[in-house]
Amino acid sequence: MVSGKAGVAKRQLLLLTGRAHPELAEAVAGHLGVSITPQSAYDFANGETFVRFEESVRGADAFVVQSHCAPINDWLMEQLLMVDALKRASAKRITAVMPSYPYSRQDRKYAGREPVSARLVADMFKTAGADRIVTVDLHTAQEQGFFDGPVDHLHAMWLLAGHVRARYQSEDLTIVSPDAGRTRLAEKWADLLGGCPIAFIHKTRDPERPNEVMANRVVGDVAGRTCVVVDDMIDTALTSTGAARQLLEQGARDVVLVATHGVLSGEAHERLVASKAREVILTDTLPIPHERRFPGLTVLSIAPLLARAIREIFEDGSVTSLFDGDA
């Protein structure tokens, strides 16, 4: 894809991908009508990563796509090396496309002597040579300020809500936040779905046991209703399945679990299969292998949204216009 005016050198869009989730990059390339730039990428015996592009990238508008799943540190380092290689090969502009931002949950210090890892990741990409970051559904919106440059924070809410609306619009819905801190997100969902009521789960965490949550009680009207639990990610699935159990105990008719990022660590697959959730809805910001899929799981493609954002950036358009048309 090229862009430019008569008499002015045309810019070239290059799409590059790491090895974490090549299927997503291929889907994005298909929506853009471009081919992925060929490269060599492999690991040495000691674990070091090597990357080299097989074509010239000089003067190009380069977009480097990488999902950050396990082993997350390997894929993070690979994307940093790709950005550095582009800088040293004289790419005109480098955009790091991270459908799932690594270390997003470590966005502040919860106690003394802890790092702010999400900020460190942003600093590393800036040092490597990234001019811009594109990501989807950060854990907290203020992380956009960690990177010293433009950050396009895309949202999968419209995609996910569209699926929920099409499938459950005839039912009495309640949008449920898995904790009190995400009630604002639940309110946005409720507005998108026509003003349905919201509820939230009051929960506590054990500081000595990371990723584990104890769901306490439900605040809101859920009896006899289809409850849609919305969150940014499902990791170990303890939060989501605990919320589903609590809602059903409080008289909910059905529970639908919705999240953007399907991390699905450890026994998450088994917990979701064993839960009584009617449907689990995720996007493919992270790869979900066949062995971790099950009949009640729906995976929606985030590729069209990423492709539209990339096209707008390349053509100096408005990414905000993808959502509200105000920019």
| Alpha carbons 59 and 81: distance in angstroms, whole number | 19
From edge to edge, which strands make up the β-sheet containing 61-65?
Answer: 2-3, 11-17, 61-65, 93-98, 132-136, 151-154
| Alpha carbons 327 and 321: distance in angstroms, whole number | 6
| Alpha carbons 286 and 245: distance in angstroms, whole number | 26
Beta bridge partners of 50: 42
Determine whether 126 is an active site residue.
no
Annotation: binding site for D-ribose 5-phosphate: 205, 231, 235-239
How is 10-69 classified by DSSP, letter by letter? PEEEEEEE-SS-HHHHHHHHHHHT--BPPEEEEE-TTS-EEEEESS--TT-EEEEE----
Can you list the alpha helix ranges (DSSP code H) found in 104-211? 117-128, 157-168, 183-192
| Alpha carbons 243 and 180: distance in angstroms, whole number | 12
* Cβ 248 vs Cβ 257: under 8 Å: no
| Alpha carbons 77 and 73: distance in angstroms, whole number | 6
Q: State the residue for tokens 């994005």.
A: 28
Annotation: binding site for Mg(2+): 139, 179
Catalytic residue among 87, 92, 126, 203: 203
The conformation of residue 198, written as its DSSP 8-state character, comes to E
Annotation: binding site: 46-48, 105-106, 139, 179, 205, 231, 235-239
Backbone angles phi, psi at 93, to 5 degrees: -145, 140
Radius of gyration, CA atoms only, the chain: 21
Other beta carbons within 10 angstroms of residue 298's beta carbon come to: 16
Q: State the catalytic residues.
A: 203
